[in-house]
Structure 1
């Protein structure tokens, strides 16, 4: 296929050390699978990048956390629209940040009186934003002598001032991390143990975990992070000091899992076919439906285009004139793109330039795995777009 050539050129140009690709249909058929390159640029590693290579999947974890949360809703353990502020009183305890006084080196805040719900956590309308994404929060962290998003627990990483009144806007933040903590609270299990029992084992999945260091069978299959230069150009180099969890030891439902592309794809195909082993039909409908009202949807689309960095991290290589909204599963593109996808295709990815998509109109899904930063590097995401196009053009709906 043509997209194979662009990936091979990236290998030759040393902008991509290694990758794995999988695509399939709603009937469970694998339409394409392939992997090339190496899983690490470290001098003591020569193992090829394969379908069973273990990758840090970062925000691709969010989809699994949404499924876990909806399972708890089905079981009557959680309610999408009930306040969770009493469960986690530290969430939002600093109020809403409105400014920063540089002379006093302190933030200006106002109290928040709007309860935060699970629905808000899963749809990024809860008022949180990742601190490294927001200049005011970066100043707030610095004023306290703290580093952004550093620490072992969700509470240490994500107990932050809110950016807006919950339910009134959209910012990309730690909602899924808090949702994962809720699942742990109501089930009495770690997110790793819960997902293993309720998601991975029913699907025959063995190669997803939050704790790869506890898995000796994964040790020689772990990919390492490589980096391009600040301009996103090669050659790629090993990034030995990059800790994708920034000291995290909690199960981070928003970005803490590790998986082989093969087993993550098994999960993604189950989502595409709305597998009844995971959720009932009403819950699948809830997972995929748009969750943003017009005000929040407008904020989301403006957010993506608010800076080149936001477009890179959140844009998924999709034209900005295609209106987008958000579901518990991920970003919904309301209109299709010629030769690439159908209307209402859902996308998301993860920091090391990873991507997945669910194209319900064409009955297709795909995963593109690699381990390269800067996050969502445009040159790498452009390769993933070509992969999606190649699958759509070969297996999608045919023009009459």
Structure 2
């Protein structure tokens, strides 16, 4: 990562990119907060052109290096962009412990919670899971029904390594078991001080402003990353996900944490209201407005049931 430097421009006539050298050290905290300068290629027009100039597909190839060893989008630590930091963090765990991310998470997370038979990076080869895989469905680009099966979709895009940013398969029950354990600060997973750090805002004022501008950069950024939360709600990032510094009337309180997965799965932890929840859809394309609206209605309904307004 960073071997190419920072991509600064792309010349369509010569089909070549321009780069600026950079040797800023990238920390684990940068990777986990999307401040490392490593942006997903499919989110960045310059990186998409760079990939095409090399006859490569975005997010293609079997390894983390194939997928994410690409030019940086900015000087590490100076901005915010959604990227494969968690994939690199998973790779770092493998190198540091000698365990694959599957083995590490099974030992330290899934088995202590009793969800080891419902969770894996490799469900198609897992005897306990391979016969229980849910179908992925797709709507048209306008988000219109009917939903139809999409048997060609490959969540891993040819990946043969554990991808810390997108790759764990699990059941709805196991997913909520993990979510509620983190929300309750279950000591089987982390120490109390680690939970405090997990939910603490991590961005300085410059990176926080960059995050809020990034979420409003395009309809795609807003749809995929802002999760239907208005731009008027100020946001930052914690190690657990998107952290809302303001509340939204009737939906969530100040300090609520959100994040989501590509098949339109969304979770939230409303610490002030004392509730957490998730809804799983298995619908593509990701985060269509109509689907996000359903998630919002679910969140509002949960808050109302809990007796909060």
TM-score normalised by L of structure 2: 0.98
Matches within 5 A, 1:5-16: none
C-alpha RMSD of the superposition: 1.0
Paired position in structure 1 for 2:169: 258
Task: Point out where structure 2 has 5 or more consecutive residues left out of the alignment.
Answer: none
Paired position in structure 2 for 1:229: 140
Corresponding residue to 2:299 among 382, 385, 388? 388
Q: CA deviation at 1:93?
A: 0.4
Q: CA deviation at 1:269?
A: 0.7
Q: CA deviation at 1:282?
A: 1.5
Corresponding residue to 2:121 among 206, 210, 216? 210
User: 3-state SS of the aligned residue for 1:366?
Assistant: strand
Q: CA deviation at 1:247?
A: 0.4
Matches within 5 A, 1:98-109: 98-109=8-19
- Counterparts of 1:200 and 1:239, CA distance in 2: 29
Runs of 4+ with >3 A deviation = none
User: 3-state SS of the aligned residue for 2:109?
Assistant: helix
Instruction: Count matched residues.
Output: 308
Paired position in structure 2 for 1:194: 104
Answer whether contact 1:336 1:342 (CA < 8 A) is retained.
yes
Relative to structure 2, which stretch is displaced further, 220-229 or 112-121? 220-229
Corresponding residue to 1:153 among 58, 63, 87? 63
Corresponding residue to 2:43 among 117, 130, 133? 133
- Counterparts of 2:97 and 2:287, CA distance in 1: 34
Paired position in structure 2 for 1:50: none
Matches within 5 A, 1:1-400: 91-206=1-116, 207-397=118-308
TM-score normalised by L of structure 1: 0.76
User: 3-state SS of the aligned residue for 1:217?
Assistant: coil
Answer whether contact 1:105 1:143 (CA < 8 A) is retained.
yes
User: 3-state SS of the aligned residue for 1:223?
Assistant: coil
User: 3-state SS of the aligned residue for 1:331?
Assistant: strand
Q: CA deviation at 1:384?
A: 1.2
Q: Deviations over 1:29-52 (max 9, x none)?
A: xxxxxxxxxxxxxxxxxxxxxxxx
- Counterparts of 1:352 and 1:269, CA distance in 2: 21
Q: CA deviation at 1:396?
A: 4.1
User: 3-state SS of the aligned residue for 1:348?
Assistant: strand
Q: CA deviation at 1:323?
A: 0.3
Answer whether contact 1:364 1:396 (CA < 8 A) is retained.
no
